[in-house]
Structure 1
């Protein structure tokens, strides 16, 4: 049989994306479906975190405007304590709650109040950063493992393609190309899932670092304000 006769005898393969998926080995199909599912989940995280960071940024701007507007700390505390604040509001409420708790009752535990406020602020910052950083590890995992998972599907598909070629004893391009294309399609899906995950992870991690720096800066400022008031009260008491 001449090469031309072999090409005419070979069945016409469906080279569309759906055709490549449908004709692939079931192991390769599992890899493709898993990567597509991971890609969908990555995009849901990306959208959710992007909206979250925009909201957090707006809340921080609004709180700083209210904090430096000249309103008393008691008034601010009453307005923010009625809700469940996040970000800078959470730091402010946590520190003020510890402040007020230290002056309740007959005993005034003021001598170690500054250290307790610093500890409360550190714990609150850690909690807020964990909230912002949640689920970002999944993006990093898909970004690093996605290409290798796709490559596994590709290797398996190529092995299956060459096994079929050896069984049919037909090495014409019309026979070889569809199997190779199906296998490479798995790598393409792996890159499709991994590239956005890596880019989004780097961008969102930068946003987490920016928010953390802003939280720590406010914590230092507010701790200094409360520390001055503690010193004033101690000097009056003395």
Structure 2
């Protein structure tokens, strides 16, 4: 990412801008430094001016302590200004929760699409989320990033043997590089349930789920309908909401499947 915008607190936020047309800002989720959305950005760039950014503390973006969710909203506000004042938002996973909070806070966004937002509606995953919040902050503060990663994967439904295999695999070092953001990521989700403030969103929202969780690699510990129930809850709260399920799709949406859905909604 070679472009930068300065947030309200002076933090430099890195982004790529591709294509031309209506503005779309892509908001990444946990452990993503912006690279996860690169294929989707390239697909959308045939019809849109796409801003794909690295959230603060990730990739080439700076980080100014102390962390607060409000600072991330200011980052989005700076990107919106850079885009000319308004843009559609697409948020993946916990990035969807951040996009919804931005809309609820009254940022000048147009349409908002979110994908697989990990709100915890059932009692067991909610209990796990509360336990995770109490443990991940101290792990990050004490520099125990491997522990923080293990906690995150446990929350995401990974079995112990899957976590062990991932620790020995080639992607662990890259995940560890952004593991220091996990406590901040948890803050974006609040108490891990859809906030009542979503009812204040006045813009159209598309709540998408991947149609998967149970039996999926790394997510076998989640309820079968985990993401679908969360998307339903979002749609129930937001006045102008639509629902869409991509049957048996991945938690990281393939551009040729997710892209046409977003294109149709944003147009």
TM-score by length of 2: 0.19
| Bigger radius of gyration among the two | 1
**Higher RCO structure, 1 or 2 (CA under 8 Å, sep 6+):** 1
- Higher normalized strand content (fraction of residues): 2
Higher helix share goes to which structure? Answer: 1
